[in-house]
Amino acid sequence: MYYESILKQTIQIFENLEIIIESISEEKFQSIIGGFPIWKNLYHCIHSLDKNIIDPDSYCEPSFHEKNMDVIYLETPTKLSKKELINYYTEVKDKIMSYFNLLNDEILLEQVFLNEKYYTRLELILAQLRHVFYHVGYLHCCIKIESGSTPEYIGLYKRVPDK
């Protein structure tokens, strides 16, 4: 029961991230929108999914990651191109969907120790979905304000893959 709902919402967030990424041209990808570089805002979302959904306690940063690269309001010497971000996004999406193939309601209720507190795996996933939905909405609004139009949006999931 929980598993199916989480899967549907995760697919929806991935589809919405893809729509945002596709709607931004390569030229605009490094620009600042809503006060922050677009690439950095998207990296922040993808990195957060990567770091916090599966096992935050044993997470290893991607090889290209630099200190503060995931903090949207801090500058870093390295900037990711659209292609680099899409490659990272694809890796993260594949990793998370593989992890989801192992999940069931029992596993979702397992406790994970993080930041001196216990959380269920379900809570970790819900926290990340809430976080990324916020950023997708923020970017969506910024794009509308700047361009006068909005990217296509997915209100409900398109499909749910077989487990």
pLDDT band at 163 (very low <50, low <70, confident <90, very high): very low
| Rounded distance between C-alpha atoms, residue 133 and residue 124, angstroms | 14
CA-CA-CA-CA dihedral for 139, 143, 149, 155, to nearest 10: -10
pLDDT tens for each residue of 15-29: 999 999 998 988 889
- Sorted by where each starts, the structural domains of the chain and their CATH numbers stand as 2-147 (1.20.120.450)
Structure confidence by residue, pLDDT tens digits, 35-74 = 999 999 999 999 999 999 998 888 999 999 999 999 999 9
Phi, psi of 146 (to 5 degrees): -75, -40
Report yes or no: 122 and 108 within 8 Å, Cβ to Cβ.
yes
pLDDT in tens, 63-88: 999 999 999 999 999 999 999 999 99
Q: What is the pTM of this model?
A: 0.90
